[in-house]
Structure 1
Amino acid sequence: MFPLDEIDNIFEAAARSRVFKNREVLLPDYVPLELPHREAEIKRLAEVVAPALRGERPSNAFIYGLTGTGKTAVTKYVLRRLEELAKARGSSVSWIYVNVRQRETPYKVLADMGEQLGLRVPFTGLSIGELFSRIVKRLSKLEGVYIVVLDEIDFLVRKGDDVLYDLTRINEHLPRAKVSLIGITNSVKLVDSLDPRVKSSLGEEQLVFSPYNAEQLKDILSRRASMAFNEGALEEGVIPLVAALAAREHGDARRALDMLRVAGEIAEREGADRVSEDHVYRARQEIERDKASDVIRTLPLHSKLILAAILKASLTSPEGRATTGEIYDAYRQLASSLGLEEVTLRRVSGVLGELDMLGIISSRVISRGRYGKTRVVELAVSPDTVIGSLSEDPTVGSMVQSMSTKGLTGKRGRATS
């Protein structure tokens, strides 16, 4: 058993950190009092929701942008201020926030909405139609404007857009309350995949958030670091390095802040007085490894099978990559060996697009001369990361482990850890 006095030493060392002053300001859910370099987006969203102060329903809105470009922070920032002003003016304006990805299913999304409206919703047992009817009944007894924010709305669309369609039509059933929707997504192509009826209702206003550049990230990191770290705890080159790495790879402020936080945590665990550039590089490796593993573990079964097919096809290819057709053939073999009904080639292509967006694979179209063009796919993370994550799945785990024992992992292609 681990000695209790050593546990006490760990806790005491953390309590008197020589690195952190307030670690929480670097966490993803922290919304600062100021949002630098997003003034134009704040102004535009404020203009969209301002009619709520007059008791009018604001237009529905779609907010696009890559991960970590401030979409969620700006939305919460504006809506919190809107609610404060409404309360001061005696107006009834409220907002409801649901992270669709975390809620997983349409039922849970509606349940979360219902609970924030004061409904008691059973964990299971109701149909989606019945749950929606209860939300409508609850809203029918209320007055004022309600702004519903559906963050990572693409995860709801993937389950079908029936619930989304019902939400865009909810005002038809309400005598006094008014509901406006704000959808937040990383995918600029999402609107194109919607039912035309949903598309026309939900896409009334559209805001696009561009990635941060290195100078903007440096400014954001400097502001947060002044609140998060003790004076002198960061070596001079740490913030410029984190900003440069983040801007070069993704322009993602959230991941840049994560990198800075994890670098500080590594330094703290080692008992260092200052965070160095070496701590940053190690933090970057740790974040990339953990992020890919977490994403892979939460994939649906057939997405895991398709990823296993990519692993098998790419590692047996001299170039370390495979075409969509080769991946589909490998996927069909894996599904058949498990006695599962296979999905269509079109659905496999859709999953490949999702995996590409998540950064697990990379794909591009190449020309084969007179044979036309074809799409080739390769892993964007190390095969060991894929094998380790998929091996935890009870359905595909043994199959993936057998790939490893047959020596497929001797080839690493172009994947990076």
Structure 2
Amino acid sequence: MDVLDEVFERVVKARIFRNRSVLSPDYIPDKLPHREREIRALGSIVAQALKGERPSNVFIYGLTGTGKTAVTLYVLRRLEAKAKELGAPVSYIYVNCRQRDTPYKVLAEIASTLDVRVPFTGLSTAEVYTRLVRRLKKLRGHVIVVVLDEIDWLVKRKGDDLLYKLTRIGYELGLDAAKVSIIGVTNDVKLVEMLDARVRSSLGEEEIVFPPYNAKQLEDILRERAELAFNPGVLEPDVIPFCAALAAREHGDARRALDLLRVAGELAEREGADKVTVEHVKRAWVEIERDRVREVVSTLPLHAKLVLLAVLELTAEGKRYTTTGELYDTYSNLASKLGIERVTQRRVSDIIAELDMLGVISARVVSRGRYGKTRMITLSADPKAVRDALSEDPLVRILLGAE
């Protein structure tokens, strides 16, 4: 038996998983524990569609892994099923703005779902919008709920013009056309501050905030999924509480908890183990953290990478934290070494806030009495994982090589 045959045989014979897909972030369960309040709130808003009325636009926000997308899709699938039962023309369209990160791509996704032919490229955004409006005017009596998930990716790159158009599309459609409601979902709780006042008032007709899960709630979620995902008796008793505790430490992220459980099971399966242990979870944590940091850092612009490198350098060798002033000086020195123009201290402050939101650093504002306030900046991610991810950028690698 060669190496691959041995690997394939071991995985085929493994009895760890019953249904691995249950632990996938795309899986929407039949029950969503500890989100009854949010389900009721969103359900009562969109229920107006069953009477042929346009539901209010909704702005949903909360940290990553708090169940925003799962609850939204769960409610809308149930709404669509109830509408079919009643013979009401109600449907929803889901667009992930991280994947469709330009106004053209977002409009093309909405239009194509409504059977409007739109080429991958070649038209102006205005033309795609015109075709969409034309189609909606023909769908008389229909109520359509459009979900724009992770809208912060769109707004930060391309502004909020498209949001303004979509939230005001009813004025162009008139009374006899389809009625369109927008649900905006974001991980960035500060995004509302970036929006134009008109967009903010239109999109935020209703707002729902999703709080983080605590360790006990995460444990309940994991136990329900584990029953479906794993064969009986393969999880050691401490595995689920340990996964929940680690994820609760990371802002109550249910997605992280589920990923931990899944990767721990995969590690156990690969080595032919009969049980998933706490040791598998510890190894899964290291693997996930490395992948998460690589994904986050690879999408950062150069100056954000230099700011992150400055944090890495300043908090090395046991130093607990740095301040904005120290960080700006070190960043400026790194930019100078590369021969590029540095950005302003205000822009670096914005970058610090963005890195904090992404969970790579922690920036806590503390009062220093009569000396005013300052930010204590620490590295939240594993230093080696950050260094490895930064080294994938050829320019940053020059600086790392010079150390």
Q: Does TM, scored on the shorter chain, surpass 0.5?
A: yes
Report how far residue 319 of structure 1 moved: 3.2
In structure 2, distance between residues paired with 1:247 and 1:347: 31
Q: Which moved more, 1:296-305 or 1:64-73?
A: 296-305
SS in 1 for 2:276: coil
Q: Which moved more, 1:103-112 or 1:13-22?
A: 103-112
Name the amino acid aligned to 1:381: A
Are the structure 2 counterparts of residues 17 and 148 from structure 1 closer, same or farther at C-alpha, using a change threshold of 3 Å?
same
SS of the residue corresponding to residue 206 of structure 1 reads strand
- Report the counterpart of residue 331 of structure 2 in structure 1: 331
Name the structure 2 match of 1:20. 17
Letter in 2 for 1:85: K
One-letter amino acid of the counterpart of residue 285, structure 2: R
* Aligned residue in 1 for 2:113: 116
Is this contact kept in 2: 1:233–1:274, CA < 8 A?
yes
Per the alignment, residue 260 of structure 2 pairs with 259
Structure 2 CA distance for partners of 1:383 and 1:256, relative to 1, 3 Å: closer
Amino acid at match of 2:253: D
Which residue does the alignment assign to 2:70? 73
Which residue does the alignment assign to 1:174?
Answer: 173
Instruction: Tell me what 1:200 maps to.
Output: 201
Give the deviation of 1:386 after TM superposition: 2.1
**Matched residue SS, 1:182:** strand
Letter in 1 for 2:226: A
**Cα shift at 1:60:** 0.3
Amino acid at match of 1:238: V
Counterpart residue type for residue 140 of structure 1: K
1:347 matches 2:342: no
- AA at the equivalent of 1:391: S
Q: Matched residues in 1 for 2:134 and 2:55: separation? A: 21
The 10-residue stretch of structure 1 (367-376 or 64-73) with the greater mean CA deviation from structure 2: 367-376
Q: Write the distance in 1 (CA, Å) between the matches of 2:114 and 2:340.
A: 41
State the Cα distance separating 1:339 from its structure 2 match.
Answer: 5.3
For 2:32, what is the secondary structure of its paired residue? coil
Secondary structure of 2:40's counterpart equals: helix
CA contact 2:18–2:230 (8 Å) conserved in 1:
yes
User: 2:50 aligns to what?
Assistant: 53
- Pair 1:343–1:238, CA change in 2 (3 A): same
Q: Secondary structure at the match of 1:96?
A: strand
SS at match of 1:102: coil
Distance 1:18 1:289 in 2: 27
User: 1:357: Cα distance to partner?
Assistant: 1.2
Question: What count of residue pairs does the alignment treat as equivalent?
Answer: 399
Give the deviation of 1:22 after TM superposition.
Answer: 0.6
* 1:37/1:376 CA distance change after superposition, 3 Å: closer
CA distance in 2, matches of 1:220, 1:178: 36
1:165 alignment counterpart: 164
Q: Is the 8 A contact 2:11 2:272 kept in 1?
A: no
Give CA-to-partner distance per residue, 1:218-258, whole Å, 9 cap, x none. 22111111111111111122122222222233222111111
Q: CA deviation at 1:177?
A: 0.9
Unaligned runs of 5+ in 2: none
| 1:387–1:400 Cα contact (<8 Å) kept | no
Among 93, 96, 118, the alignment partner of 1:96 is 93
Which of 126-135 and 237-246 deviates more? 126-135
| TM-score (norm. length: structure 2) | 0.92
- Looking at structure 1, the residues matched to 40 and 168 of structure 2 have their Cα atoms a distance apart, in angstroms, of 27
Whether the 8 Å CA contact 1:213–1:251 is kept in 2: the answer is yes
Of 349-358 and 104-113, more deviation after overlay is shown by 104-113
Q: Report the 3-state secondary structure (helix = DSSP H, G, I; strand = E; otherwise coil) of the residue aligned with 1:287.
A: helix
Contact 1:306 1:331 in 2 (8 A): yes
CA contact (8 A) 1:98 1:150 kept: yes
More displaced 10-residue stretch of structure 1: 27-36 or 208-217: 208-217
Distance 1:89 1:5 in 2: 60
Q: C-alpha displacement at 1:348, in angstroms?
A: 2.2
Give the secondary structure class of the aligned counterpart of 2:99. Answer: helix
Query: Where does 1:111-260 land on structure 2 (aligned, <5 Å)?
Result: 111-143=108-140, 144-159=142-157, 160-175=159-174, 176-260=177-261
Deviation at 1:326, TM superposition (A): 3.2
Does the Cα contact within 8 Å between 1:308 and 1:400 map onto a contact in 2? Answer: no
List runs of 5+ in structure 1 lacking aligned partners: 407-417
In 2, Cα distance between equivalents of 1:120 and 1:351: 39
Q: Matched residues in 1 for 2:346 and 2:110: separation?
A: 33
Q: Who is 1:302 aligned against?
A: 303
Offset of residue 367 of structure 1: 4.3
After superposition, give the CA deviation of every residue in 1:160-196 in whole Å (9 maximum; x if it has no partner).
Answer: 1111111111111114111111111223222222111
Change (3 A) 1:13 1:210: same
Q: Residues 130 and 306 of structure 1: is their aligned pair in 2 closer, same or farther, counting only changes over 3 Å?
A: farther
CA distance in 2, matches of 1:157, 1:116: 22
Q: Given the two structures, how large is their TM-score scaled by the length of structure 1? A: 0.89
Cα contact 2:289–2:385 (8 A) shared by 1: no
1:361 maps to 361
Does structure 1 residue 379 correspond to structure 2 residue 379? yes
Cα distance change of structure 1 residues 302 and 42 upon mapping to structure 2, 3 Å threshold: same
Instruction: Describe the shift of the 1:42–1:370 C-alpha distance in structure 2 as closer, same or farther (beyond 3 A).
Output: closer
Residues 340-382 of structure 1 show CA distances to partners (whole Å, capped at 9, x for unaligned) of 5544333322221111011111112344554332223222223
2:28 aligns with one of 26, 31, 55: 31
